[in-house]
Each structure stands twice: as structure tokens, then as C-alpha cells.
Structure 1
Amino acid sequence: MGSAPAPFFEIGKKAKDILTKDYYFNHKFSLATISAAGLGITATGVKLDDLFVGDISTQYKSGKTTVDVKVDTNSNVSTTVTVNEIVSGAKTTFSFKIPDQKSGKLDVQYLHDHVAINSSIGMNTIPVLELAAAIGSKKFGIGAEVGFDSTSATFTKYNAGISFNQNDFSAALILADKGETVKASYIHFLDPLNRSAVAAEMIHRLKTSENSFTIGTSHALDPLTLVKARLCNNGKLAVLCQHEWRPKSLLTLSAEYDPKAIISPSRLGLALALKP
């Protein structure tokens, strides 16, 4: 649906991607392969301080159906089955984890010309229900989401947001954390050819009157190399350099400096992704 508004969870996402996406301050490696029959295998390993964790996932596509199975280092098995276009504009996803018998969940997404609806229900006797909806168009959208826990008969979340998008900028305002937090974000695209953009996010917590902000920028040095930087109000400065050394394969170097940290004010991260 080319004219449909973005789903609620994507409100403010463009600015958030500039400020947070691909920043990683540990060591991460992922390797992906895919066969002619549509079977893909991805292995991921992450080094967190002195602890190494990882997972292996497989994906199989057949027509409108995609099946994803992931096994992590703790022998937990996660399975997701996605079916597209059961009816026009609809996508259905069923997921569950083993051995967690209460983890089953059914998600349904529906996109129409002027509405985007996402719903989720836990597949157990006392489920958690979630519903998010956005109305408008690609240029302007307003939406809300609610979550209800039928066990305690309480709302787990209720948030609202509004977005305004043009070719050269995007702005969003979100009321989050059950009305306790206001988030405002803005991104301006300076040069789409060089992927140059600046973004900012400001957060105001109503209960404590606490304010925080983050500003950031991105720029492509060449078609294969992207650099990013961000600065937070607490003084933290982070930079990133990402190079596509072969098609779809990325090498990402990240660094962060925290002037308030006493023991280790700087952090470095390396992420390598190999894809066919």
C-alpha cells in the first residue's frame, strides 16, 4: 500500500535510526548463506565482556509463507511462521519458543490506503492483548497503541504519536510510558545522494521534569562507506564507520567516549556481517 501511513511503531523511526542504528560497542560476527531452494542459514556470535553468546537461525520461503527457526546458546528454540497476503494488505505471524509453553503469540498486520493496524494476542489461557493503529497517509499520520493484561485486568501500556513527513525532513511527537514521557524527534535530509542527514531527539519526563537530548549526523564518504556521529546531553560522544567491502557484507567500527566514566571512559566495538 504505497499511500498507507507507517505502522505506529515506525513513528520517529527515521530519526532513531540515525541516532542508534548499527552502534555497537562489543564484538559481533554474523554469517549468512542462502540456497537456490530458498533455504537461508545465519550464524551469529556476540562477545559481551568475557561472555560469548550466539545463535543459529534458518529461514525457508515458499510462496507467501516464511518459516524462521532460531536456536541460541541456552538451547532455546524460537520459531516464527509468517504468511503474507492471506487477504489483500494483511500479514499474519505466529511465533513460539521451546521450552516456554506460554510464549505462543499471534500477530496480525493490516495495511490499507489510509490505515495501518497491528494486533497481537498471547496464545495461552490468560493472554496479553495488544493493538496499535495509525491513520493518515505517508506524509501525515496519527496513531496510538494499547496493551492489556487479562491476568491482572490492567493496561500494560497506552501510548500515542503523530508524524509529519516530507521529502527532505521528518518530524514526530510521541506520548509514551503511559503518558509519563514526551519524545520529540526530527531528521533533515541534507543530501540524499550522499546519505547526509542530521537528526535530534528530545525526551521530557513529566513526573521528574527531567530533560535529555541526543543529536546526530550521518554522511557517506563514498557509495560504500558511511560515517555517523552522535552527542548526548550527558557528554557521551559516539562515532561509527561502516564499510560495505563486498555486496551486502558490512564491517562496522564503533567508538564511544564518556567523560563521566571513571574506570573506562572509552569503548570500542567491531561488527562483521557476511551475506551472500
Structure 2
Amino acid sequence: MAPPAFSDIAKPSLDLLNKDFYHTSAATLEVKSKAPNGVAFTVKGKSDHKTGAINGQIEAKYTDKPTGLTLTQAWTTLNALDTKVELDNTIANGLKAEVLTQFLPASKNTGAKLNLHFRQPNFHGRALFDLLKGPTFNGDLTVGHEGFLVGAEVGYDVTSAKITRYSAGFGYSVSEYTAAITASNNFSIFSASYYHKVNAQVEASAKATWDAKSTSTVGLEVGSKYKLDQLAFVKVGYSSPTNLSRKLN
């Protein structure tokens, strides 16, 4: 099994701390259905606290499993037409290629991106190209062995021939718990996170963050989830004022 992408090294902890809490969004909605011909439809909506505006989209997705081709088209409330074409394990074993385009009818603006994901049992690498803005390149990789993870990320502006961002991290992940330490935003934000699946009903997580450029204090987030049954659960969490402010802005 391939290790997670660099951005997902601390995913179990972040999911427990960030999902399903009222402070992240006032209301969310997601409805899924599937037509007889195999096309899957998804309607998503989210309302924020500040303006009350609803941001959403309607999405249609078709997958041809024999060829590994997936076509996804979406129309958002921002009047954007998004199209994504995916080829998974078609060009080479473990390689997934994505072409993403966006068209804004009101302004006639367009966007195009090419994403490459390469997964092997102990390696997960990504190369993300923004073809029309810059162009720019963002790449990351994660190497894993017996639960230990080491990863790094870099951003590069082709036009100016300049590195725009870099990050690094390492962690340890097994089925019961995950621990990770990351240094992001050009090694200016340092985070340590921990996730523990105590048993089939109880999960717990904690995260400490220090922004070396803006504060001398460490932000702390803790959360826990108790599963009542297959359809219901209870979550409780605490976020220090620094972290809460960052989430709401």
C-alpha cells in the first residue's frame, strides 16, 4: 500500500479536529445519486458565518472502469464550469494523470492544470502544473517504510525561475494512531499532531501550531469523537483563540 501524499501525512488528526464542527461553516449539504447508466450526480452546498452566502455546485461524474477513464463536470454558484479528465493506471502502473480546466462565462477567463500522481508500495509523488498562470509547478513526495513517513514539498515559478514555497515533515502511522510533525510555509509554521483510535467507538486528536513570523505563543487544538451507533456520533473539541481566529478568517 502506498503512503499518503505529503499533504495527508497528518490527515487523520486534521479530519477529526476540523470536520463536522459548527465553527468551520454555518451549514453544509451534500446529496448524491446515481443514474442507471452509471453517471453519479452530487449536489454540494455550504453557508459561511460572515455573509450567509451559499456556495455550492452540481457535479456529474462518469467512470469507465475498463479503461481507467473518469470524466467529471461541475457548474458552481460562482458561474464556473469545471471539467476534470482522469486516467488511472492507464499510462503506467501506479500513475494517475489529471487534466483540469475551468471556464468563467461572465469574464471569459479560463484555467488549465495538469496533475500527475505516482504511487508505489513505499513511495507517493505528485507533480502539479498550472499551465496558464505562471506557469507554475508544485511537487511533493512521501517515502514510507514500516509506518515511518518522510515527506517534502516545493513550489516553483517557471517564468521567474524562482522557488516560491517549500515544506517538510515526518510522521508515524499505523491503524490505531498517527503522529506527525511538519514545517510549512517556507519553514515558518511548525505543527505537531497526534491521532488515536482508542477503540471502535472513541477517537481522540490533538494539534499544536506555532507561527514563527507572527506570534510567540503556541496554538492548541484538541478534539474527541464518540460513535453512538452506525448512523450517529458526538464530537467535542477545543481550539485556542489563535487557532479559532485562523479558521474563521
Classify the TM-score, shorter chain.
0.7 to 0.9
Distance 1:137 1:35, change over 3 A: farther
Which of 189, 195, 210 aligns to 1:204? It is 210
One-letter code of the match for 2:227?
A
Which residue of structure 2 aligns with residue 234 of structure 1? 241
- State how far apart, in whole Å, the 2-side matches of 1:154 and 1:61 are: 38
* Equivalent position to 2:73, from 69, 76, 84: 69
Q: Distance in 2 between matches of 1:210 and 1:102?
A: 42
TM-score (norm: length of structure 2): 0.86
Identity of aligned residues (%): 24
> How far off its partner does 1:217 sit?
0.5
CA contact under 8 A between 1:133 and 1:144: conserved in structure 2? yes
Q: Secondary structure at the match of 1:17?
A: helix
| Partner Cα distance (2:17, 2:77) in 1 | 30
Note the residue ranges of structure 1 that are not aligned, 5 or more in a row.
237-257, 261-276
CA distance in 1, matches of 2:169, 2:110: 31
Partner-residue secondary structure (3-state), 1:222:
coil
The equivalent residue for 1:104 is 112
Structure with greater proportional strand content: 1
Distance in 2 of aligned mates of 1:125 and 1:217: 41
Aligned match of 2:229:
222
1:246 maps to none
User: Per-residue deviation at 1:144?
Assistant: 0.1
TM-score by length of 1: 0.78
Query: Is 1:113–1:137's contact at 8 Å kept on the other side of the alignment?
Result: no
Corresponding residue number in structure 2 for 1:59: 61
Q: Report 1 or 2 for greater relative contact order, CA contacts < 8 Å, sequence distance ≥ 6.
A: 1
Offset from partner CA, 1:39-67 (integer Å, 9 cap, x none) = 11222333444433332111111121111
1:30, CA displacement in angstroms? 2.7
Instruction: Report if the CA contact (8 A) 2:206-2:221 is conserved.
Output: yes
Contact 2:103 2:110 (C-alpha < 8 Å) held by counterparts: no
Kindly provide the CA deviation profile for residues 144-194 of structure 1, in whole angstroms up to 9, marking residues without a partner as x: 010111233332210001010233221000011101111000111110x22
On the 8 A contact 2:138/2:154 being kept in 1, the answer is yes
Aligned equivalents of 1:53, 1:171: Cα separation in 2: 34
Distance 1:129 1:224 in 2: 42
Paired amino acid for 1:59 = K
CA RMSD of aligned residues (A): 2.3
